[in-house]
């Protein structure tokens, strides 16, 4: 896989397994939860990569590992060429300044007993070198202004703000240390639709102003298309398709991506009548008992004997390698084929 820009983040073979135990005093391991099971991608400077997939596919665990909130079981995360999974102490602390996170729920991610000034200024307590102590209040007020809030709100508490305002506070906290990468885990899913548009437009503006690179975790496909340069589709701990936003949305080649896109609401009744709706059979397999070969095969209408034997590589399918068309992007399917599920003009432009 290649990025159109110089990579700032390179993820290779990333794995996170949790032991499944039984018992209280004498715990016995009875299985393994494979939350993330071999993820590879790059994030370019100034780029936004969106990661989509069903609940439980490993998106949030991936986000936490990128921010070093979870330690990988295996694999590497290279930030500007340096594997941060091998760092500790001051070296790791320095890297953490450059990769910050915006959390999903603005109602639980802000401490209700701290003022907005203390919440946004807390990173300066952990990294005192980032701002002189006497200058921190001014810095916090500047950040409030940058995210569209009144700098005089610095002494207010989270309960005095709406959901959208709280998410702006969370974004301001993420910007405090002037990071180069922001990992946003479902940044607007807890907000009203009109407020979602405001926050998405704010993220767009901040990216240009501060030269940020974003990794956005989401399940709303219209929001991901609106904000992302490239999109990765996750299923059961792995990325099954990745490419430019138009490649994924208008020319999906993996059956799972095609099924996801067929569920996108279409405002035009005529287009809705004539499009094919793909209904997947069965449930998502348990991450403790992943199918052999292709992990999507138990729900796939294309599945053949080969799918149970061989794990498909995330690469440009052989049938598209001789072309430079939009279908020539990475897809982990033995029988990948281009299928336009929803006409491009019917996707809409998302929020804003």
Q: What is the pLDDT of residue 349?
A: 44
Q: Tens-of-pLDDT digits for all 352 residues of the chain? A: 334 468 999 999 999 999 998 888 778 888 999 999 999 999 999 999 999 998 889 999 999 999 999 999 999 999 999 999 998 888 998 899 999 999 888 888 999 999 999 999 999 999 999 888 889 999 999 999 999 999 999 999 999 999 999 999 999 999 999 999 999 998 888 788 888 888 899 999 999 999 999 999 988 888 888 899 999 999 999 999 999 999 999 899 999 999 999 887 776 666 666 667 788 888 889 999 999 999 999 999 999 999 999 999 999 988 888 777 777 899 999 999 887 666 544 444 444 4
Q: What is the pLDDT of residue 348?
A: 45
Q: What is the pLDDT of residue 219?
A: 83
CA angle 299, 290, 306 (to 5 degrees): 60
Classify each residue of 42-58 as buried b or exposed e, where b means 16 or more C-beta atoms within 10 Å of its C-beta: bbbbbbbbbbbbeeebb
Structure tokens at 279: 């209904």
Give how far Cα 64 sits from Cα of 99, 192, 317, 329, Å. Answer: 11, 25, 31, 27
- Name the strand (E) or helix (H) holding 239: strand 238-244
Residue with tokens 């049938």: 319
Structure tokens at 234: 């996750």
Contact in structure between 140 and 153 (CB atoms under 8 Å): no
For 238, phi and psi rounded to 5 degrees? -135, 155
Q: pTM above 0.95? A: no
Delimit the domains of the chain by residue range: 7-21+31-235, 253-341
Contact in structure between 270 and 257 (CB atoms under 8 Å): no
CA separation for the pair 61, 75 (Å, rounded)? 14
- Pairing between β-strand 230-235 and β-strand 48-52 as defined by DSSP bridges: parallel
Q: What is the pLDDT of residue 177?
A: 94
Contact in structure between 293 and 299 (CB atoms under 8 Å): no
Q: Is 269 exposed, middle or buried (0-12, 13-18, 19+ CB in 10 A)?
A: exposed
Q: What is the pLDDT of residue 106?
A: 84
Helix, strand or coil for residue 310? coil
Which residues lie closer than 8 Å to 91 by C-beta, 6 or more apart?
none
Per residue, the 3-state secondary structure of 151-177, as one string, reads HHHHHCCHHHCCHHHHHHHHHHHHHCC
- What CATH number labels 7-21+31-235? 3.40.50.300
For 45, phi and psi rounded to 5 degrees? -65, 130
């Amino acid at each position: 896989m290649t990025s159109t820009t110089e990579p700032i983040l390179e993820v290779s073979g990333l794995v996170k397994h949790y032991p499944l135990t039984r018992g209280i005093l004498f715990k016995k391991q009875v299985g393994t939860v494979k939350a993330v099971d071999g993820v590879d991608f790059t994030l370019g400077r100034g780029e936004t990569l969106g990661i989509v997939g069903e609940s439980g596919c490993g998106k949030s665990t991936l986000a936490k590992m990128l921010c070093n909130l979870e330690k990988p079981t295996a694999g590497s995360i290279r930030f500007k060429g340096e594997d941060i999974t091998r760092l500790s102490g001051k070296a790791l602390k320095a890297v953490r300044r450059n990769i910050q996170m915006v959390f999903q729920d603005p109602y639980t991610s802000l401490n209700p007993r701290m003022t907005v000034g203390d919440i946004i200024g807390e990173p300066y307590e952990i990294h005192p070198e980032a701002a002189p102590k006497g200058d921190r209040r001014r810095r916090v007020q500047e950040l409030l202004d940058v995210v569209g809030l009144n700098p005089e709100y610095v002494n207010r508490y989270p309960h005095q703000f709406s959901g959208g305002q709280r998410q702006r506070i969370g974004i301001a906290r993420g910007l405090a240390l002037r990071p180069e990468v922001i990992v946003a885990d479902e940044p607007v899913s807890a907000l009203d639709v009109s407020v979602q548009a405001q926050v998405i437009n704010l993220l767009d503006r901040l990216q240009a102003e501060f030269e940020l690179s974003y990794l956005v975790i989401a399940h709303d496909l219209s929001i991901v298309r609106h904000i992302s340069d490239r999109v990765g589709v996750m299923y059961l701990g792995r990325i099954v398709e990745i490419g430019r936003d138009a490649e994924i949305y208008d020319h999906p080649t993996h059956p799972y991506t095609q099924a996801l896109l067929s569920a996108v609401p279409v405002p035009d009744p005529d287009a809705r009548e004539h499009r094919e709706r793909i209904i997947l059979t069965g449930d998502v397999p348990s991450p403790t008992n992943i199918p052999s070969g292709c992990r999507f095969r138990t729900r796939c209408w294309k599945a053949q004997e080969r799918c149970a034997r061989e794990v498909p590589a995330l690469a440009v399918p052989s049938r598209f390698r001789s072309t430079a068309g939009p279908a020539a992007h990475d897809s982990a399917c033995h029988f990948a084929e281009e299928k336009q599920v929803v006409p491009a003009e019917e996707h809409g432009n998302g929020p804003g």
